[in-house]
Amino acid sequence: MTEPSAAVLLRTHALGEADVVVVAHTERWGKVRAAARSARKSKRRFAGGLTAGAVGVAELHAPTRGGLWRLDGFVPRLDHSAMGRDLDRFSFIAYLCELTDVLVDELHPEPGLHAALESAIGVTLEVAPDAMALRRYEIALLHHLGLLPAFDCCCVCGVPTPAGGSTVAGELPFDGARGGVLCPTHGLGAPRQRSAVLRCAVALLGGEAVPTQAPELRRGLRDLLQAQIRGHLRQPLRSIELFTHLGQPRRTVPADGAP
């Protein structure tokens, strides 16, 4: 039986003359791989086309014995025309989709993660691309996958650190490989991280707005999260090349760069 679900198309590729294979992240089932029969010929079932980054409602049919799901229809819910006209938006959304595709396993539903992905794409389509939207999604993704380091308490003993409270400290011991921030006792000899960067990460995790425009803080948060993500990648993301080709940041791209 075909059932509907909110979905984001992460990746597509042609199969034969008319069919398309789609990798989608759905609210109901998590990531699925589906075949869309005659997708390149049907304007009724796939009126908006099937494009990576599209947000909408997918009509999916689960396989009986493994293998590919069947995508019987897809109705876009957001206007993606801005993505085709703006390389910045295109590269941001390509990164969000590829990162999700690479790190998320199939058939592990995470409605909270799906909502975060839809939100990140929606914000990128509606306003000028801002790398903080990527940072917010990276934190949500790592959190839902159980890969997020501790930012506000020692990852060894659980003692609260200044990063999560009102105390302002210059730097704190932080070791992503060990699990995150460390107290003075367990952080002897550990690398240091600016407490302002950790406080920014705590705010993003809590859903708070972080309107900082300080380039060094934005770069620090980017480097912190990218280091954590790289530890779980088998190979570099292809979408990173898009950011490299953008060259020097343009008017719509923040000074910290992206991803």
Residues 71 and 31 in one domain: yes
Pairing relation of β-strands 19-26 and 2-15? antiparallel
Q: Residue 93: inside a domain, yes or no?
A: yes
Residues 139 and 87 in one domain: yes
Residues 37 and 135 in one domain: yes
CATH number at residue 57: 2.40.50.140
Q: Residue 12: inside a domain, yes or no?
A: yes
Q: How confident is the model at residue 176 (pLDDT cuts 50, 70, 90)?
A: very high
Are 125 and 54 in contact by the 8 Å Cβ rule? The answer is no
Residues 29 and 93 in one domain: yes
Give the total number of structural domains in the chain. 2
Residues 39 and 88 in one domain: yes
* Omega within 30 of 0 (cis) for the link into 259: yes
Residues 81 and 7 in one domain: yes
Residues 79 and 139 in one domain: yes
Q: Residue 103: inside a domain, yes or no?
A: yes
User: Which residues fall within 8 angstroms of residue 107, CB to CB, at 6 or more apart?
Assistant: 29, 30, 31, 32
Residues 93 and 190 in one domain: no
Q: How confident is the model at residue 165 (pLDDT cuts 50, 70, 90)?
A: very low
For residue 167, what are the CA distances in angstroms to 27, 161, 170, 212? 39, 9, 10, 19
Task: Provide, rounded to the nearest whole percent, the portion of the chain with pLDDT above 70.
Answer: 90
**φ, ψ dihedrals at 127, nearest 5°:** -125, 175
**pLDDT of res. 252:** 44
- Residues 145-181 as b/e (b if ≥16 CB within 10 A, e otherwise) read eeebbbbbbbbbeeeebbbbeeeeeeebbbbbebebb
Residue range 61-71: mean pLDDT, rounded? 89
Higher pLDDT, residue 151 or 46 = 151
Q: How confident is the model at residue 243 (pLDDT cuts 50, 70, 90)?
A: confident
pLDDT tens digits for range 179-188: 999 999 999 9
Are 114 and 80 in contact by the 8 Å Cβ rule? The answer is no
Q: Residue 155: inside a domain, yes or no?
A: no
Residues 226 and 205 in one domain: yes
Residues 123 and 218 in one domain: no
Q: Residue 150: inside a domain, yes or no?
A: no
Q: Residue 250: inside a domain, yes or no?
A: no
Q: Which two tokens stand for residue 72?
A: 């019987």
Report the C-alpha gap between 237 and 31 in whole angstroms: 18
Q: Residue 255: inside a domain, yes or no?
A: no
Residues 115 and 202 in one domain: no
Please determine, for residue 213, whether its predicted confidence score (pLDDT) is greater than 80.
Answer: no
Residues 52 and 117 in one domain: yes
Question: Which residues span the domain enclosing 37?
Answer: 2-145+232-245
